[in-house]
A and B are shown apart, each in its own frame.
Chain A
Amino acid sequence: MAVGNPSKALSPYICSSCSRSLKLRSRKFATAASPDIYDVVCVGGGPAGLSLLTALRSSKATSHLSLALVESQDLDRAQKWHLPPDQYSNRASSLTPSSQSFLSQIGAWSHIDTSRVQPYQHMRVWDGLSSTSRISFDSPAPEPAIAHMTENQNIIRALLARLDSLEPISLLDKTSITDIHLGPPPSSPAPEHASLNLSSYPHVTLSSKHTIAARLLVGADGLNSPVRTFAGIQTRGWDYDRHGVVATLKLSSESSHNPENPRGVTAYQRFLPTGPIALLALPGPYASLVWTTTPTQAARLKSLNIEDFIATVNAAFRLSVVDLDYMFTLSSGQLSELQWRESVSPNTSAEANGDIPAYVTSVQESSIASFPLRLRHASSYTTHRTALIGDAAHTIHPLAGQGLNMGLADSKSLASAVEYAITHGADTGSEMNCLDKYNIDMWMRNNRLLGAVDKLHWLYSVKSGPVVPFRGVGLRAVDALGDLGLKRWFMRQAGGL
């Protein structure tokens, strides 16, 4: 463009070798003096980062911004992601109504493959130790679902499809970051003419050796966020000494969805002393398992053969905590152990009225995985020209299924702060004029959620003592007060409304 022009215009007068060297020299000068400058550079193409870029592109006020996405994975593969209808990814999330409405608002929901989405109307939550305490959440049929279960890949693919339908952004995928630094200080003495001073702009050096500068650098780059490290933002939190075991399960056919049988559209969660086990319905007879437990038990679960794994999951929703603990001491034979115990004390009433999930009959091949659980919260989400969203800003215990929803809420908030800044002529990298709005909007809200979920975790890890009967009373009270609005409030919290 501007670089190519002088030699082109002069070409009739200069020999070709000279014009080539002129071109080379001017190009070198151009890159040294000014890297490509983007309004927003987002590092990380997960649901949080992609939804932010989609939100910015689909809003009229911000659609003209220059956007870049840096992602180490191959986005082409994410866009072509496809699984047959009898297979589901083991990373699924429960989308709250507010997440869903955000995805609709930015035009991504219509790209979701709805045949792979399962809305659920009911929740059954109970305590593993005080067996009488149980809480039921039911959203009556005409009301919207409590939440929608779907695979993270389905959401990512929809966001990429939506982005594809908008004005193109710079997609720098299969690209990692080698360095982030601030731009050079302004030359002194100051030159006569106004020259660009990028000393406050983060410069991102990519694995392609290319450097790009950002008016606003967004870290959507996960737990070990390089952007957060660059910004010098501390995180606080701890490791739970727990692992999350996930798997895609197939349930016995009686769980197939119909209005007469609500079992297929119910989310189940039982609080065991080692951590909660949750079964969340996917379409058809499929369900997603998230079992939070000790690293030892997680390792045992992963070492079992398929029949015994299935039996242990079934036992975790049915047997007493003492019996379950005993099953974990066995290296195999959980299936016959469960069959024997159930023949002695059958769970007939709970089975009949759908208070516990249907039997798991099979596990999708190689869908069992585990990951360590942590709580992390960044001390701030912003510094000058930097903002953190999603897991880079916070990592939450999965027991409330809020991780992905929190990331989407961050994106929504940051996009609206940027939109306000743009319509009021503010510099979108400025904390005072733009980013503070996002930090104030989300930090306390997320901190409350992180704290509440953390307290639930500790409350239910207590095995004995005075707190155990009380938490049962608490759950029962919440259940009984359903008509007085307290339960409604709990459901709203779960739904993120």
Chain B
Amino acid sequence: MAFRPTALCNLSLLLRQYPRRSYSSSTSSVSLTEVSHFDKLASSWWDPNGSSRLLHQMNPLRHDFISSCLDSQPEPPSIAKRRYLDVGCGAGIFAESAARLHSTESVLALDPSSEVIAVAREHAQQDPLLLQPGRLEYGNKSIEDLPTPKSSQDQFDILTLFEVIEHINQPAPFLCSCLPFVKPGGWLILSTIARTWMKLAYDKGCGRGGGQVGAEGTHDWKKYVNEEEMRSFLGGWMGGGVMGGVRSQGVVFVPGVGLEGGGWWGEVGELFLWG
């Protein structure tokens, strides 16, 4: 894969332009305040009526989106079983579901919060399917701690970053460090919350009433990323021949109805790329 991270990252609109205190170490994308926040949330992660309910409800849409991506490939890879790398897996909402799929060979799921990973491991013990050797493995680390794959056999068919980008201090270098883990012809799939006035009003106005993604204090509006920013950032990669294309889809929570997927809702933009 022809890939020049330094040059590409310079193009990035994702490098934050507003001043912000950063606690991240030079080797990690992870902010320590974010980690301690998620440590506190860990226990409520699998509570169906807890603050993560919306994430649970969004999960099937993630699979639909991945399926639509795979279906869009002109020549789908012949391999029957797929390997997933789920970065920022939390307590494993997506990782568990991906590991249960009939078409999955293995899932490696990473999260820097040790409390959250402990909850994830404990929860997976409730499902004999997930305990099958190699099916689902958790790591209490960030992607920078993983050895860079040496061959395509160590790479992953699908790398997912669900609701992660908005918690990262410097998304551009972080995305750059993710790419070497994706197999040629594989997919990097991410979702995030768009930085729109509507979402701001929503968080401030009714976010505490219900329908908020995550508990209070989980998200900072200033860290949200818009679809256009992501597209132009990824466009730089495409120009460099790293990627084949970008697809995106919006999702919005309609009170009383639930989650609706649609092209023009920019509230939670789901974007992906493949190289």
**Which of B56, B57, B98, B131 is the one whose CB lies under 8 Å from A194?**
B131
B102 within 8 Å of A (CB atoms): yes
A431 to B57, CA, bound (A): 12
In contact, A426 and B124 (Cβ under 8 angstroms)? no
Cα–Cα, bound, A188→B101 (Å) = 30
Q: Is A1 an interface residue (CB 8 A)?
A: no
Which has the most chain B C-beta neighbours within 10 Å: A194, A423, A424, A431? A424
How distant is the Cα of A197 from the Cα of B60 in the complex, in angstroms?
A: 25
User: Bound complex: CA of A427 vs CA of B95, how far in Å?
Assistant: 12
CB under 8 Å from chain B, chain A span 410-431: 420, 422-427, 430-431
Which single member of B97, B98, B126 contacts A197 (CB below 8 Å)?
Answer: B126
Pair A424/B63 contact, Cβ less than 8 Å: yes
A197 touches B125 (CB 8 A): yes
Interface string of A210-234 (1 = CB under 8 A from B): 0000010000000000000000000
Q: Does A196 contact B (CB under 8 A)?
A: yes
* Distance A61 CA – B53 CA, assembled complex (angstroms): 26
Is the CB of B241 closer than 8 A to any CB of chain A? no
Structural contact, B97 and A196, CB atoms closer than 8 A: no
Query: CB within 8 A of A186: which of B56, B96, B124, B125?
Result: B125
Which of A64, A194, A420, A427 makes the CB contact (< 8 A) with B125? A194
When C-beta atoms are compared, the residue in chain B nearest to A421 turns out to be: B60
Contacts of A432 in B (CB 8 A): 48, 53, 56-57
Given the complex of chains A and B, what is the CA–CA distance between A38 and B35 in angstroms? 38
Q: Is the CB–CB distance between B125 and A425 below 8 Å? A: no
CB distance from B53 to the nearest CB of A (A): 7
Q: Which residue of A lies closest to B49 (CB)?
A: A432
For B71, list chain A residues within 8 Å (CB): none
Question: What secondary structure prevails in chain B residues at the interface with A?
Answer: helix
| B99 on interface, CB distance cutoff 8 Å | yes
Asked if B121 is an interface residue, CB under 8 A from chain A, the answer is yes
State the CA gap A427–B59 with chains docked (Å).
12
Whether, in the assembled complex, A190 has its beta carbon less than 8 Å from a beta carbon of chain B, the answer is yes
Q: Which residues, 104 to 125 on B, are CB-close (under 8 Å) to A?
A: 104, 121-122, 124-125
Q: What is the CB-to-nearest-CB distance from B36 to chain A, in angstroms, rounded to a whole number?
A: 23
By the criterion CB–CB under 8 Å, are B100 and A425 in contact? Answer: yes
CB B115 to nearest CB in A, in angstroms, measures: 14
Asked if B75 CB lies within 8 Å of chain A CBs, one says no
Residues from chain B with Cβ under 8 Å of A194 in the complex: 121, 124-125, 131
Please give, as numbers and ranges, the residues of chain A lying within 8 Å of B127 by CB-CB distance. Answer: 215, 427
- Distance in Å from the Cβ of B34 to the closest Cβ of chain A? 26
Q: Does A200 contact B48, Cβ atoms closer than 8 Å?
A: no
In angstroms, Cα B129 to Cα A425, docked, is: 11
Asked if B205 is an interface residue, CB under 8 A from chain A, the answer is no
CA distance A186 to B99 in the complex (A): 22
Chain A contact surface mostly: loop
| B100: nearest chain-A partner, CB-CB | A425
> What is the bound-complex CA distance between A37 and B127, given in angstroms?
10
Q: Give chain B nearest CB distance to A381 CB in angstroms.
A: 17
**A424, B125: Cβ atoms closer than 8 Å:** no
Complex Cα–Cα for A433 and B97 (A): 10
**Chain B nearest CB, measured from A63 CB (Å):** 10
Please tell me the number of chain A residues within 8 Å of chain B, measured between CB atoms.
24
**Cβ–Cβ contact B121 & A426, under 8 A:** no
Structural contact, A433 and B56, CB atoms closer than 8 A: yes
Q: Are B125 and A196 in contact (CB under 8 A)?
A: yes
Q: Indicate whether A345 reaches chain B with its CB closer than 8 angstroms.
A: no
Which residues of chain B are within 8 angstroms of A37 by Cβ–Cβ distance? 128
B63, B96, B104, B127: residue with the most chain A Cβ atoms closer than 10 Å: B127
State whether A426 and B100 are in contact (beta carbons under 8 Å apart), knowing that A37-B128, A196-B128 are contacts in the complex. yes
Please give the distance in Å from B135's CB to the nearest CB on chain A.
11
A215 to B99, CA, bound (A): 16
Measured CA separation A424–B59 after assembly (Å): 8
Chain A residue numbers with a CB within 8 Å of B121 are 194
Residues of chain B contacted by A61 (CB below 8 angstroms):
102
CB distance from B270 to the nearest CB of A (A): 15
Instruction: Tell me whether A427 and B48 are in contact in the complex, defined as CB-CB below 8 angstroms, given that A194-B124, A196-B131 are known contacts.
Output: no
Interface string of A131-157 (1 = CB under 8 A from B): 000000000000000000000000000
Q: Which residue of A lies closest to B125 (CB)?
A: A197
Distance A425 CA – B63 CA, assembled complex (angstroms): 8
B56 and A200 form a contact (CB under 8 A): no
State how many angstroms separate the Cβ of B257 from the closest Cβ of chain A. Answer: 12
A5 within 8 A of B: no
CB distance from B84 to the nearest CB of A (A): 10
Chain A residues, CB < 8 A from B101: 423, 425
- How far does the alpha carbon of A64 sit from the alpha carbon of B121 in the complex, in Å? 26
| In contact, A426 and B59 (Cβ under 8 angstroms) | yes
Question: With A and B bound together, what is the CA distance between A424 and B96 in angstroms?
Answer: 11
Chain B residues within an 8 Å CB radius of A433:
56, 59-60
Report which residue of A64, A197, A431 has the largest number of chain B beta carbons within 10 angstroms of its beta carbon: A197
Interface membership of A348, Cβ < 8 A: no
Residue A195 CB within 8 A of the other chain = yes
Give every chain B residue within 8 A of A430 (Cβ-Cβ). 48
Nearest residue (CB) in A for B64 is: A424
The smallest C-beta distance from B213 to any residue of chain A, in angstroms, reads 16
Give the docked Cα–Cα distance between A488 and B126 (Å).
50
Do A420 and B48 touch (CB < 8 A)? no
With beta carbons under 8 angstroms apart, the residue of A199, A215, A424, A431 that contacts B60 is A424
Give bound CA distance, A200 to B46, whole Å: 14
For A423, the chain B residues whose CB sits under 8 A away are 63, 101
Q: Which of B187-233 contact A (CB under 8 A)?
A: none
In the complex, are the beta carbons of B97 and A426 less than 8 A apart? yes
A198 contacts across to B, CB distance below 8 A? 126
The distance in angstroms between the C-alpha atoms of A199 and B123, with both chains bound, is 11
Collect the chain B residues with CB atoms within 8 Å of residue A199's CB.
Answer: 126
A to B CB contacts below 8 Å, 13 in the list: A194-B125, A197-B125, A198-B126, A199-B126, A422-B102, A424-B59, A424-B64, A425-B99, A426-B60, A426-B97, A430-B48, A432-B56, A432-B57
Not counting A196-B128, A425-B97, A425-B104, a sample of 9 additional A-B residue pairs whose C-beta atoms are within 8 angstroms of each other reads A194-B124, A195-B125, A200-B126, A423-B101, A425-B96, A427-B96, A427-B126, A433-B56, A433-B60
